[in-house]
Structure 1
Amino acid sequence: MKFKEIPYERIDMEEVKKGFEALIKEQKEAKSGQEQFEIHKKAYALRDKVLTQMTICEIRHTGNTVDEFYENENNYYDEKKPEFDDLTLQYSKTLLESPFRDYLEEKIGKVAFKNIELMAKSLDEKLIPLMQEENNLVSTYHKLIASAKIMFNGEELNISMLRKYLTDSDRNIRKEAWSKLSGFFQEKSGELDDIYDKMVKNRTAQAKLMGYSNYVELGYCRMNRNSYDKVMVKNFRDQVKKVFVPLATKVHEARREALGLDSLKFYDNEMYFNNGNPAPIGTPEEILRWGKEMYDDLSPETKEFFDYMYENELFDVLGRKNKQAGGYMTFLPDYKMPFIFANFNGTSSDVDVITHECGHAFQGYVVRDYEVEEHRDITMETAEIHSMSMEFFTDRYMEKFFGDRAEDYRKMHLAESVTFIPYGCMVDEFQHIVYENPDMTPDERKAVWMKLESEYRPHMDYADDPFFSKGGFWQRQLHIYASPFYYIDYCLAQTCALQYRIKMDKDYKKAWESYLALCKLSAKEFYEPMLKEVGLDSPFQDGCMKNIVEELTKTYYNN
């Protein structure tokens, strides 16, 4: 079934409540673990029905944020989702308290039970009003960003559509485009500060109600950090500061030389070549068709996957006014369908959608038929390995998309992967500081950002820009607003993806087999044991980052 043909029906949360209450009663009266698992499969069906309709609403709302019907539906779920989360928790507690827990742990896994314990530590009925308010603040942020109407080159553009000018080969054009972007954020700065200040105070209040000293621990529970903590994350960030920042600085210096500039400014930060960054040579329709050809050749599994996506039109990738910025992959449980949302804008990021988001979607497709749905519930540091590694596994096909500039794209892609890790760690440390000091003023938060810039991105020069030079750059990072503590997952995953990049140079087939095994493992095992099983080093392991830097330096950056 094509996505556009899928019907939508608002979920009646009162009916869902009755459904969960009946299941809780059944679970408490069950006489064996086997009977409990059969009841649990009914819970899957109920949960899947709810999540499917919520996801249809999300896709259609983000595709047009001014559509009145789906805006109202989105507002409805902003209010009702915390109630659904609480009902899910009340049901899940029957599994935690089961006299047949040993059987259930054997059936659905220790990871699943650890995640239920984390859910119990992060949710409570008393939080529902605050969670509803938090959802509303996130929606307000998304709508504010989507509302951007930036006049440039005779066009009215949103932020996604402006991107092609932000990376224009003409330095004056990109400087002007970045000035326009800065102007939008400067104009909205008061609103953005207000939204974020309310978010920090709201999340802190939730943490206090749950007995935590601040939001950091609650945030870790909500991110399902089921096998590592903030001490391990700090150790990882410290490794990055020590060995990865120098490598990233070296990459930036190489960029400066390639661009023929005396110094790099912030509007040069995403530029790699004097003749402009490589851009796809085809139309959006051709990019999708070439993506199909690429996945047809890569493996039997990827061929089956992309054929399914293509035939069922499970993409919304064209940039439009009033469309939410960014991109994501999501999943429709009732239909076992992945779905990809993005904003094509004529830059190399259009191809990244066909690699990165398809990495997510491929993994979702591979495990879509797992009977134990908890085995599909991957945490984000694992999910992002699938996407970021797929970017590298598809590097060999870039001639399809970039023609004679394919090699330029590969060089740029690797360089971006290296320079991203310090930035991602900076975002993470910023959030730790903010939530450990929730009473900071907006100006104090911006001062923290500028200090972290000097540690993680010492090359960054915002010149005299009235907004970015005052520490406002973080306000364009939607994850900081919408998904606290998510960003470090990208860094951990990029570390693993770079290991795959090194491995595939030595034995592509063996590297792909490891990647496919990782996709199939999904959420059956905890993070570090899972990495070990497929032959990857844990990013938390001392020396991991040093080894990657040495391999990359030896092969790519030895000049």
Structure 2
Amino acid sequence: MGNVKKLKSRDEVSDKYKWDIKKVYETLEEWEKDFNILKEKAPKLSSYSGKLSDGHNLLEFLKLQEEVSRLLEKLYVYAHLRSDEDTGNNTFQGLKNRIDSYLAEVMSFGAFFQPEILSLNEETIKKAMNEVPELNMYEFYLQDILKMKPHTLDKNTEEILASLSDCLNAPGNIRGMLANADMSFPYIKDDEGNEVELSEGNFVNFLRSKNREVRKEAFEKIYGTYYKYRNTFATALTSSIKNFMFTSKTRRFESSLESSLKPNNIPLEVYNNAVDTINKHLDSLHRYVRIKKKLLGLEEMHMYDLYVPVIDTPKTHIEFEEAVDIVKEGLKPLGKEYLDIFESGVKNGWIDVFQNKGKRSGAYSWGCYDTMPYVLLNYNYGLDDVSTLAHEMGHSIHSYYSRKNQPFIYSDYVLFCAEVASITNECLLIKDLIDKEKDEKRRLYLINQQLEGIRTTVFRQIMFAEFEKITHETLEAGKPLTSEELCKIWKDLNAKYFGEDMIVDEGIEMEWARIPHFYSDFYVYQYATGYAAANSFSTAILNEGEKAVEKYKGFLKSGGSDYPINILKKAGVDMTTAKPLEDTIKRFDKLLDMLDK
């Protein structure tokens, strides 16, 4: 009988591969002490209600709000990180549940703040700033709130909208319960001929199978199951869109799209330009399909052939220390300061490296103003794990720079910027790996990895964004959308995006029902814009050297001190133009040239 490789318990993992969580709280008693201080301070926030027109009161409130928020975040991060180390540890689960429960209470103490600021006129705020110069630091923060004044309702209506939030979110919750709890999928035969129950969790793995019958059966059976529930999924999605339209109209926005983009001051043309730019360059994606068809040796390319790798994953065993060296080599163009921060993070306990029994799966970067920017990994010695290390450390070093250079109030960056630093690291790493790889098979694998990254993060997400645009505009024009119409829109988009060499199979028209992101309206386009901005930064860094690095570090240091479009523009990436996406497509075309030799 072969050896059974059991997961180590948390205690069995060497401390050098664990994050240094004791830098947040040495003991549970220290956490309890801070929790009691929070419970003493947080209720004092509500004593400022109705008093914010006075500059001195406003400053006192903002300072107290910062104290409370920083304490809350520190307690919250510690409890969640400890819980994620071992989800079976009841002590830390209890800690997490306690701070989660108290979070809502803290929010309620300061809930009056934004409505009260919005009830003041700009002259009152200006007068307060003149009288209390310390308030000038908060100018952008306060102006950002005031700009939403035209879209803020009277107190009673705001309370009604707040009380409706559960009802308005119901379609997404219903969709989730149907897809994740109530639906069951048939059994199919895997590569070894075993009967295996199909699920959302294993579907993509079946699509990567070298056995075409396996991936075809998985494709047909998962979408056949979704098709049975097409009317329920259509009702859930159109109800969700109508709810978003209702909120947008109630808040006096011109459209749903404006209500999504305006809070972060993102011009509508950023969204529309992204869709238009990709549409103008679909021939690149069509070429990708042709090359993949040729490399797979297929007479016909079907939708279920899209995910099968053209090159098998190289067998690798990369020790974590070697992974660190590989990433550092790839990130050399970012300069000594950046590499020193990276190395310091590795040595000083930012990273929780290996799996252990009960540890949360996946990977993330997380922390707060008063902790290190921690990284959770489940390192498994593969090339993908090396890339994940680069990605998550990109997030963490972005957070590090932001917190070192911004006051607390501006230390967080918004979603539009959130993926840029992580993908910049990935782009630099994979280009370095491709350029230096001597083994032709491994080199082709790396080329294909980056091609797939651009296909799924840029082309695919913009196809999603175009679907959202069409569905919202159709319903805003007062036209109904049935399941048949949603299926037709989706199938037509697939035909347009993948071109004549792709057989657009029956079944793919139900794919829209599998995508939960459509219940977070106009969210997905930011994956594509984030990738495009990262590609622009990495290209400039490689071509222009130190000058581009300094601009890039300026972006990392900016946090949330300005609107994302302005922060990126100052660093040399103008997302209001087509150039970042066009440059990404140039990289895609260059990779295709390498693959098609």
User: Is the Cα contact below 8 Å between 2:208 and 2:215 reproduced in 1?
Assistant: yes
Of 269, 284, 292, the match for 2:324? 292
Output aligned runs, 1:135-154, within 5 Å.
Answer: 138=172
**Whole-Å separation in 2 of the counterparts to 1:56 and 1:197:** 40
Output aligned runs, 1:109-258, within 5 Å.
Answer: 110=140, 113-114=143-144, 117-118=147-148, 121=151, 124-134=158-168, 138=172, 159-160=200-201, 162-179=203-220, 181-182=222-223, 185-186=226-227, 192-212=233-253, 214-221=255-262, 224-226=263-265, 228-242=266-280, 244-258=281-295
Output aligned runs, 1:97-496, within 5 Å.
Answer: 97-98=124-125, 99-101=127-129, 106-108=136-138, 110=140, 113-114=143-144, 117-118=147-148, 121=151, 124-134=158-168, 138=172, 159-160=200-201, 162-179=203-220, 181-182=222-223, 185-186=226-227, 192-212=233-253, 214-221=255-262, 224-226=263-265, 228-242=266-280, 244-273=281-310, 275-276=311-312, 278=313, 281-282=316-317, 286=319, 289-296=321-328, 298=331, 299-302=336-339, 304-305=341-342, 308=345, 312=349, 329-333=365-369, 335-340=371-376, 350-395=385-430, 398=433, 404=439, 406-419=442-455, 420-436=457-473, 437=475, 439-458=480-499, 461=502, 463-465=504-506, 468-469=507-508, 471-481=509-519, 483-496=520-533
**Which amino acid letter does the alignment assign opposite residue 478 of structure 1?**
P
Offset of 1:217 from its aligned partner?
Answer: 2.7
Offset of 1:344 from its aligned partner?
Answer: 8.1
**Which amino acid letter does the alignment assign opposite residue 557 of structure 1?**
D
Offset of 1:198 from its aligned partner?
Answer: 4.0
User: Is the Cα contact below 8 Å between 1:428 and 1:488 reproduced in 2?
Assistant: yes
Q: Which moved further from structure 2: 149-158 or 290-299?
A: 149-158
Output aligned runs, 1:546-557, within 5 Å.
Answer: 546=582, 549=585, 553=589, 557=593
- Rg larger in 1 or in 2? 2
**Whole-Å separation in 1 of the counterparts to 2:178 and 2:399:** 31
**Whole-Å separation in 2 of the counterparts to 1:13 and 1:135:** 31
Q: Deviations over 1:30-61 (max 9, x none)?
A: 34xxx855642321232344556666787769
**Which amino acid letter does the alignment assign opposite residue 260 of structure 1?**
G
Give the secondary structure class of the aligned counterpart of 1:472: helix
Q: Deviations over 1:239-271 (max 9, x none)?
A: 2211x2122222222222222222321222234
Q: Give the fraction of aligned pairs with identical amino acids, expressed as a percent.
A: 17
**Whole-Å separation in 2 of the counterparts to 1:279 and 1:84:** 55
Q: Report the TM-score, using the length of structure 2 for normalisation.
A: 0.72
The structure-2 alpha-carbon separation of the partners of 1:472 and 1:492, relative to structure 1 and needing over 3 Å to count, comes to same
Output aligned runs, 1:74-113, within 5 Å.
Answer: 86-87=111-112, 89-90=114-115, 93=118, 97-98=124-125, 99-101=127-129, 106-108=136-138, 110=140, 113=143
Give the secondary structure class of the aligned counterpart of 2:593: coil
The structure-2 alpha-carbon separation of the partners of 1:535 and 1:375, relative to structure 1 and needing over 3 Å to count, comes to same
**Which amino acid letter does the alignment assign opposite residue 467 of structure 2?**
F
**Whole-Å separation in 2 of the counterparts to 1:205 and 1:336:** 41
Q: Report the TM-score, using the length of structure 1 for normalisation.
A: 0.76
User: Is the Cα contact below 8 Å between 2:20 and 2:348 reproduced in 1?
Assistant: yes
The structure-2 alpha-carbon separation of the partners of 1:259 and 1:202, relative to structure 1 and needing over 3 Å to count, comes to same
Of 45, 48, 71, the match for 1:20? 45
User: Is the Cα contact below 8 Å between 2:285 and 2:497 reproduced in 1?
Assistant: no
2:576 is the counterpart of 1:540? yes
The structure-2 alpha-carbon separation of the partners of 1:532 and 1:218, relative to structure 1 and needing over 3 Å to count, comes to closer
**Which amino acid letter does the alignment assign opposite residue 291 of structure 2?**
A
Q: Deviations over 1:210-250 (max 9, x none)?
A: 234653332224xx331x322442133212211x2122222
**Whole-Å separation in 2 of the counterparts to 1:141 and 1:64:** 27
Offset of 1:389 from its aligned partner?
Answer: 1.3
**Which amino acid letter does the alignment assign opposite residue 203 of structure 1?**
F
**Whole-Å separation in 2 of the counterparts to 1:388 and 1:355:** 9
**Whole-Å separation in 2 of the counterparts to 1:157 and 1:320:** 26
Offset of 1:106 from its aligned partner?
Answer: 4.7
**Whole-Å separation in 2 of the counterparts to 1:30 and 1:455:** 57
Offset of 1:494 from its aligned partner?
Answer: 1.9
**Which amino acid letter does the alignment assign opposite residue 402 of structure 2?**
V
Q: Which moved further from structure 2: 406-415 or 101-110?
A: 101-110
Give the secondary structure class of the aligned counterpart of 2:264: coil
**Which amino acid letter does the alignment assign opposite residue 264 of structure 2?**
R
The structure-2 alpha-carbon separation of the partners of 1:250 and 1:305, relative to structure 1 and needing over 3 Å to count, comes to same
**Whole-Å separation in 2 of the counterparts to 1:191 and 1:78:** 35
Offset of 1:491 from its aligned partner?
Answer: 1.6
Unmatched runs of 5 consecutive residues or more in structure 2: 1-18
The aligned residue for residue 497 of structure 1 is 534
The structure-2 alpha-carbon separation of the partners of 1:306 and 1:108, relative to structure 1 and needing over 3 Å to count, comes to farther
**Which amino acid letter does the alignment assign opposite residue 127 of structure 1?**
L
